[in-house]
Structure 1
Amino acid sequence: MASITIKNEDDIKGMRVAGKLAAEVLDFIEPYIKPGVTTGELDRLCHEYMTNVQGTIPAPLNYCPPGYTPYPKAICTSVNDVVCHGIPGDKALKSGDVINIDITVIKDGYHGDTSRMFFVGEPSILARRLADITFECMWIGISKIKPGAHLGDIGYAIQQHAEKAGYSVVREFCGHGIGKVFHEEPQVLHYGRPGTLEKLLPGMIFTVEPMINAGRREIREMGDGWTIKTKDRSLSAQWEHTVLVTETGYEVLTVSPGMPSPPAFIKPSTIQTAAA
């Protein structure tokens, strides 16, 4: 297995900047998410903001892992039953839709990666509950991060919370190490057993990004080679932060003025927000 890179102080500074910028793209786009707007228009607005205002590079654009065709857009827009990697296009959003927008920017060689759920108009009770539980899942997973803990502790906590609510955890996609490389070791599973997998060390940076389905966990891939949907067409939700393992716990790197506050049960003392 490829080794996990421990980030030095310069790396961590660079990752703080990239994470903050990624989160600020989500702050920027939120007012535009309303009935009638197309996902392609959201992509265009984000792309222009990244390149012209921030001076960042959209990491997904032309990203091409082995076995894939190059990803054609700057952001991912996953609507309703789309689990992840929805390609922006001419689909107009309608009232009641839910959408995950996933942003990864590159600044000075470092990647910042984060996603949020947004409601278009008024969501159904089911959609709101799914988004809320998924948000809690992400934070419950993050709250397990500290030196000496294991990756399995994160996955176990997320899985327990999701399944207790009657939801299922997507297995095929997971969080990942990140730095000067978009996806690196470790893989951060959103299910598992406590005390298993890699032990966490200060200086590790990775994403926590649970994908939770209202129905069954099975997925299907669309013909474009990227878009992933729930097999049973149930709603799916996802939230994502990039997190640093510190000497005493964790620091969330993808922070911005408009980011949703953590759930009330997360102790504020454990959240170190990155310096502006």
Structure 2
Amino acid sequence: MNAIEVRGLRKEYPGQLAVAGIDLEIHRGEVFSLLGPNGAGKTTTVEILEGHRRRTAGEVTVLGEDPGTAGRAWRSKLGIVLQTAQDAAGLTVAETVRHFARYYPNPRDPEQVLEQVGLAEKAKAKVRSLSGGQRRRVDVALGIIGRPELIFLDEPTTGFDPKARRQFWDLIRALAAEGSTILLTTHYLDEAEALADRVAVIARGRIVAEDTPANLGGRAGARATVRWTDASGPREVRTQTPTRVINELSAGGSELAELTVTRPSLEDTYLELIGAQR
């Protein structure tokens, strides 16, 4: 059974169609990334899946239940890291995590979670004394403390420094290895490429592409760009057969300085996909 199944999902506000008929399947144990510009419908879609917002039309099943009517037992299976969250600023980090652990039937060990999110040394610090990135780690700790089957991560590494982001990536991989299903929204394309089994791009309320990061938008078969410098100056060729081009250049006996071969990055493909929808 899929963790998430969506058919014809629509969300309308007065004078605005935010989500325009989305179909989506997310497999159990999968890391799935939903990409799109601000205002594309990402957050609205995720909030409907979490049960925080009612849909206008369509069928939605999350962990076997309709999130619009599911109860407390269903909610205990979810872990949610919102874009913005209100924290208990007067509590210590450890007190906050221990407090939230009591809401779940089978929580993780709070001290272990603090270690996983890089906050062990801040356990006795008041939440209000933390930096923005450290508060974000508290959000992540609260999102995983309940040992969730399905984790929603909405821009989870905002405010993280590069080292903290890489540590968080390791945590996501570990959670996925344990069998958790993860739905990740992020503006960091390298994050989606590093973590996601599949990605979908949403623009103007519609899914415009869905595939593995390597194959999204025909990326794997896109032409490569061969760049080099010779006596005539900088040169460039776009080709499906870069190895043949390099062999032909080398056969001429010329010195090829600054030789590079590149294919479209995930960011290149993403920008092309959302640009076509403007």
Q: TM-score, normalised by structure 1?
A: 0.31
Q: Whose helix fraction is larger, Structure 1's or Structure 2's? A: 2
Q: Whose strand fraction is larger, Structure 1's or Structure 2's? A: 2
**Greater Rg by CA:** 2
Q: TM-score, normalised by structure 2?
A: 0.30
